[in-house]
């Protein structure tokens, strides 16, 4: 509410001019108007408005692995977990504007091993065109900060191998389950062949929450939240 007020009185444009230099990585999970996982669900309308805002601000959209090296003002839209509703609800909006995106797959969830009504199948994942980058979101979605180094290595290598075999493309990017990363996990990620992870500091991460007003999203995108 305070953010909304400040935005309306004009601090927003000033802050924008000052703070928009760094690239953005915008993290989503479920895109739907109802259903499960309410704590990580963003409505279709809000998602559309977020994209429209970034387009209006002149962001160029890139796949996650391209973010660090991108020129100008770049944004990477990404989705964790592999929800099926990303295919039905977010994909048409992105495709209409020819916007690339990245999908981070938890291999234990994909292919009907978890709830096939909720998570995308390997058939759907492999059918994505090259506008979609596929990354790993681990095998089991455990907090990598809570398990041994060897288990971290296994989560990272196994998921990479499984996804690469399924999609026939190299998997170069990793998204941390529950956002839990450390210097040690980052070192392992590099060792096993990832070029970028979501713990990278070369971009500003935006995490839209379900109850965020649009003003809050703008503030998060301006690195002020
Ligand atoms: Zn996740």
pLDDT values of the chain reduced to their tens digit, one per residue, 225 residues: 555 655 665 666 655 555 556 899 999 999 999 877 888 999 999 999 999 999 999 999 999 999 989 988 999 999 999 999 999 999 999 999 999 999 999 999 997 677 888 999 999 999 999 999 999 999 999 999 999 999 999 999 999 999 999 999 999 999 999 988 999 999 999 999 999 999 998 899 999 999 899 999 999 998 775
Measured in Å, residue 5 CA sits from the centre of ligand 1 at 33
Other CB atoms closer than 10 Å to residue 37's CB: what's the count? 14
Collect all residues with Cβ–Cβ distance below 8 Å to 153 and sequence separation of at least 6: 188, 191, 192
Cβ pair 144, 176 in contact under 8 A: yes
Measured in Å, residue 175 CA sits from the centre of ligand 1 at 8
Task: Provide the CB-side half-sphere exposure for 189 (13 A, CA).
Answer: 25
CA gap 160, 173 in Å, rounded: 9
Measured in Å, residue 173 CA sits from the centre of ligand 1 at 14
pLDDT number for residue 39:
86
Write down the pTM of the prediction.
Answer: 0.89
Measured in Å, residue 12 CA sits from the centre of ligand 1 at 31
Crossing angle of the two packed helices 149-167 and 183-191, in degrees rounded to 10: 40
Measured in Å, residue 34 CA sits from the centre of ligand 1 at 19
Collect all residues with Cβ–Cβ distance below 8 Å to 218 and sequence separation of at least 6: 7, 12, 53
Measured in Å, residue 178 CA sits from the centre of ligand 1 at 6
pLDDT number for residue 37:
83
Measured in Å, residue 222 CA sits from the centre of ligand 1 at 24
Give the CA distances from residue 116 to residues 109, 127, 217, in Å, rounded to whole numbers and listed in that order.
8, 17, 31
> What is the token pair recorded at 88?
């039905």
pLDDT number for residue 7:
60
Measured in Å, residue 28 CA sits from the centre of ligand 1 at 9
Measured in Å, residue 216 CA sits from the centre of ligand 1 at 22
Task: State the residue for tokens 């109802």.
Answer: 34
Architecture in CATH of 22-220:
Alpha-Beta Barrel (3.20)
Please, what's the b/e burial string for 102-118 (b: 16 or more CB within 10 A of its CB; e: otherwise)? bbbbbbbbbbeeeeeeb
């Amino acid at each position: 509410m305070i953010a909304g007020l400040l935005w309306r009185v004009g601090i927003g444009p000033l802050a924008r001019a000052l703070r928009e230099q760094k690239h953005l990585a915008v993290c989503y999970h479920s895109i739907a108007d109802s259903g499960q996982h309410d704590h990580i669900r963003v409505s279709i309308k809000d998602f559309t408005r977020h994209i429209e805002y970034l387009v209006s601000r002149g962001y160029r959209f890139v796949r996650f692995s391209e973010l660090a090296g991108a020129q100008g003002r770049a944004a990477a839209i990404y989705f964790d977990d592999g929800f099926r509703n990303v295919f039905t609800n977010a994909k048409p909006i992105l495709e209409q504007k020819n916007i690339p995106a990245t999908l981070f797959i938890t291999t234990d969830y994909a292919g009907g091993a978890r709830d096939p009504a909720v998570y995308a199948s390997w058939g759907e994942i492999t059918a994505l065109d090259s506008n979609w980058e596929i990354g790993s979101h681990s095998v089991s979605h455990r907090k990598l900060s809570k398990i041994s180094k060897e288990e971290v290595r296994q989560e990272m290598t196994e998921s990479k191998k499984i996804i690469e075999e399924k999609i026939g493309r190299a998997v170069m990017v990793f998204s941390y389950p529950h956002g839990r990363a450390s210097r040690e996990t980052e070192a392992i990620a590099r060792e096993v062949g990832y070029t970028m992870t979501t713990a990278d500091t070369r971009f500003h991460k935006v995490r839209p929450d379900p109850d965020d007003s649009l003003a809050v999203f703008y503030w998060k995108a301006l690195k002020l939240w």
